[in-house]
Amino acid sequence: MTIKVALAGAGAFGTKHLDAIKLIDGVECVSVISRDLDKTREVAAKYGIGHVTTDLAESLALKEVDAVILCTPTQMHASQTLACLAAGKHVQVEIPLCDVLKDGEAVVAKAQASGLVAMCGHTRRFNPSHQFVHKKIEAGEFNIQQMDVQTYFFRRTNMNALGQPRSWTDHLLWHHAAHTVDLFAYQCGSPIIKANAIQGPIHPTLGIAMDISIQLQAANGAICTLSLSFNNDGPLGTFFRYIGDTATYIARYDDLFNGKDEKIDVSQVDVSMNGIELQDREFFAAIREGREPNASVARVLPCYKVLHGLEQQLA
């Protein structure tokens, strides 16, 4: 049986999912939803998708649609996830699950009551680099003492990853910190029990802090230091340093290096070297197998509880 998917949000990230879907057997994107109809038609034509709309409800009404991937603005994530579940569709929502904790809790409650697969795009759980480290930890060969993480972008104006103007404001805390807060607890296999944050000046027009510093401690004693900036003029991206009892690892997206900056071959860790594709494969496998996926909304909710606490501190 082919799983038929609707994709909402045909921007920089949505097209990464469309590229991934093309590589996965038994999955087909049949509908694409985005705000700009002309641009959406262009994307649909490129990927051979028959149905185009600006209204998510129109796609949710299609009987053939089994599942939805949401790559829409952060502020819409929770409400749109609830709408997908209410329509009886499996759903994968891009990170973050929410930007208000109670909204995320409502999604988890609805997902558990529905019996549908509901997953959040916590890609770091799937990148081969981080999977390699996770397997070492599970095998008892490596234990994290400290993670040192830098998440750096140059976004002094409101642009997306393709350098196009954004209609919404991205968020360092609720989006970009979510990746590391979740990954730290996941890799440690231990809940976060302490979290502190300080932030730099608030941007006069965007209304958000452009620089944040976060400290975390897991129940097992491991610590994490996270620096985030929208002011950084290169190099861009997120760089993870795992300092452990037996080794040091540096992860840059899907690539992994040791402490001497020698590249580690992670090509055999999983069926692909693309974290987004691996994330999507897990979503569709969970649907087929009728199980809870890694990065289910329930499994990532603790991360958002930590972010909520940090937001209260910063306020």
- Indicate whether 72 belongs to any domain: yes
32 and 102 in a single domain? The answer is: yes
Q: How remote is the C-alpha of 127 from its chain's centroid?
A: 11
223 and 241 in a single domain? The answer is: yes
- Indicate whether 118 belongs to any domain: yes
| pLDDT in the model for residue 157 | 72
| pLDDT in the model for residue 166 | 64
* Tokens 């093309």, residue located: 22
208 and 247 in a single domain? The answer is: yes
Quickly count: other Cβ atoms within 10 Å of residue 267's Cβ: 10
HEC assignment per residue over the chain = CCEEEEEECCCCCHHHHHHHHHCCCCEEEEEEECCCHHHHHHHHHHHCCCEEECCHHHHHCCCCCCEEEECCCHHHHHHHHHHHHHCCCEEEEECCCCCCHHHHHHHHHHHHHHCCCEEEECHHHCCHHHHHHHHHHHCCCCCEEEEEEEEECECCCCECCCCCECCCCCCHHHHHHHHHHHHHHHHHCCCEEEEEEEECCECCCCCCECEEEEEEEECCCCEEEEEEECECCCCCEEEEEEEECCCEEEEECCEEEECCCCEECCCCCCCCCCHHHHHHHHHHHHHHHCCCCCCEHHHHHHHHHHHHHHHHHHC
**Best CA proximity match to 74, nearest among 16, 148, 158:** 158
106 and 136 in a single domain? The answer is: no
- 160: domain range? 127-269
CA-based angle 118:106:178, to the nearest 5?
A: 65
168 and 263 in a single domain? The answer is: yes
CATH of residue 288? 3.40.50.720
90 and 186 in a single domain? The answer is: no
- Indicate whether 286 belongs to any domain: yes
Question: For residues 108 and 78, what is the distance between their CA atoms, to the nearest angstrom?
Answer: 10
| pLDDT in the model for residue 155 | 81
CATH of residue 209? 3.30.360.10
What's the pLDDT band for 219 if we cut at 50, 70, 90?
very high
At 257-311, the pLDDT tens digits run 999 999 999 999 999 999 999 999 999 999 999 999 999 999 999 999 999 999 9
- Indicate whether 51 belongs to any domain: yes
- Indicate whether 34 belongs to any domain: yes
- Indicate whether 62 belongs to any domain: yes
Tally the domains of the chain. 2
Can you read off the two tokens belonging to residue 115? 């019996």
147 and 259 in a single domain? The answer is: yes
pTM for the full predicted model: 0.95
116 and 150 in a single domain? The answer is: no
At 117-154, the pLDDT tens digits run 999 999 999 999 999 999 999 999 999 999 999 999 98
| pLDDT in the model for residue 205 | 84
- Indicate whether 313 belongs to any domain: no
92 and 148 in a single domain? The answer is: no
207 and 169 in a single domain? The answer is: yes
190 and 251 in a single domain? The answer is: yes
- Indicate whether 302 belongs to any domain: no
Q: How many CA atoms, within 13 angstroms, populate the side-chain half-sphere of residue 247?
A: 17
**pLDDT at 64 exceeding the cut of 70:** yes
| pLDDT in the model for residue 208 | 86
**pLDDT at 169 exceeding the cut of 80:** no
156 and 220 in a single domain? The answer is: yes
Phi then psi for residue 12, to 5 deg, are -55, -40
| pLDDT in the model for residue 161 | 62
